[in-house]
Structure 1
Amino acid sequence: MLLVVGNIRGADGGSPIRWTVVSGSVACPAARVALAWSVGGRSLAGMVSDLVECARAVAEVRLVSLPRRWAHVQGVAARASDVAAALDCPHSAEIVAAAWLHDVGYSETVAMSGFHPVDGALFARAEGFPEHVVSLIAFHTGAEEEAAERGLSDSLSLFAAPEAGDLDVVTFSDLTTSVDGAPIGADARVAEILDRYGPEDPVHRAVSASAPRLLASARRVEALLASAG
């Protein structure tokens, strides 16, 4: 059993969080896998959600070798945390955990089919994360349209569709975070994706098809945030 110390920090900004890597995977108590967390010898209890910290640790281990992707994921997670808190979402921990893990399927240690929502969801399920987190990963940001483009709708059907409001928050957070982790408008983000992937790419075709639905999702969250003050 190998103890790895990552460069993530506890909620107090102090000592690094330590986690255990067993046979290349991160074991987390929030995912019902045995692991004793410690932050400078203190328990994480009462500081932050174990589930969220677990997701963050897993995401970092898998994505830190992809600096731009990791920067994007950190921005999405920060955005999701802010939005879930502002809206007092009942499943805030699951939403933020899914935000940390939504792109884990891009990791070369996780990717199997090349379709990152399904690859990431299968990985999260194998790691023992709650099914609500798994489904949010599987269906985030137009995954249904991309699955159809790639001929992988049957693979996506392995997962139950998540609660629509929670999926809106994850998708909104993704759509309002640039590739480098900076804030961006949803319309600009969609345009950037379409520009980055050529017309023959399944991502371009999927986003072209899903854009009205994605932007409607973003508008719903914006309206809720405006109502929440």
Structure 2
Amino acid sequence: MPSFADARALAELTLADHLPARWLHSQAVAREAIRLAELPEMDREPLVVAAVLHDVGYSPVLARTGFHPLDGARFLAARGYDRRVAALLAHHSGAAVEARLREITGLERFDDEVSATRDALWYCDAVCGPTGEPMTPDERWDDIRRRYGPDHVVTRSLDEAEPRLRDAVDRTRARMAAAGVATADAAP
């Protein structure tokens, strides 16, 4: 697996010039992943590498289907990244729901693991705003709904995926509490 430094350089190369706000978000997600990487049950390298790369599929340089989780996963798989990292990207933040609503195929080529590492990636994405600012998951999800509007497929998929997202966030918070690690999202 390429190192975190290599993954960060790739994310910067694909996002910084084209989508600077997305690059700021990706850096914040990676910082939060680094903070959580030593929790029990966590697989450090896949988590931090997936975190910094989770949104590379938005880059116009590599977008093919227009569905960023799949485009990012395919890109990483083609570059020889660990299949697990590609799968974490493919399924991050409940992407399977949006793929189904958009009638996009290809996500099924990547396993959706249910693990502490996957939960942590979803948590990290949920507590970092669109330009990297800290947010609670509810603030983040409300912001997404506001930006896309009630009828957009992104909002509809978030509405459907929210229970799974909330479960992943809650499991991560529980792991953090058990390890004495403060949440970044001002959760009670």
TM-score (norm 1): 0.76
Q: Relative contact order (alpha carbons < 8 A, sep ≥ 6): 1 or 2 greater?
A: 2
The equivalent of 2:56 in structure 1 is 104
* Deviation (angstroms), 1:89: 4.3
Q: Distance in 1 between matches of 2:11 and 2:41?
A: 22
Q: Distance in 2 between matches of 1:90 and 1:155?
A: 27
Asked if structure 1 preserves the Cα contact closer than 8 Å seen for 2:92 and 2:121, the reply is yes
Aligned residue identity for 1:197: Y
Asked if structure 2 preserves the Cα contact closer than 8 Å seen for 1:168 and 1:218, the reply is yes
| Structure 2: gaps spanning 5 or more residues | 181-188
The equivalent of 1:12 in structure 2 is none
Residue among 142, 147, 150 paired with 1:196: 147
Return 186-195 or 100-109, whichever deviates more. Answer: 186-195
TM-score (norm 2): 0.91
* Deviation (angstroms), 1:199: 2.1
Larger radius of gyration between Structure 1 and Structure 2: 1
The equivalent of 1:73 in structure 2 is 26
Asked if structure 1 preserves the Cα contact closer than 8 Å seen for 2:40 and 2:175, the reply is no
* Deviation (angstroms), 1:90: 4.6
How many residues end up aligned between the 2 structures?
179
Q: Extract structure 1 runs of 4+ deviating beyond 2 A.
A: none
Q: 1:56 to 1:89 in 2, by over 3 A?
A: farther
Q: Distance in 2 between matches of 1:166 and 1:90?
A: 5
CA RMSD of superposed structures (Å): 1.1
Aligned residue identity for 2:11: A
Q: Distance in 2 between matches of 1:131 and 1:68?
A: 27
Q: Distance in 2 between matches of 1:62 and 1:68?
A: 12
The equivalent of 1:3 in structure 2 is none
Identical residues among aligned pairs (%)? 39
Which structure has greater helix proportion?
2
Aligned residue identity for 2:29: V
Q: 1:77 to 1:58 in 2, by over 3 A?
A: same
Residue among 156, 161, 179 paired with 1:210: 161
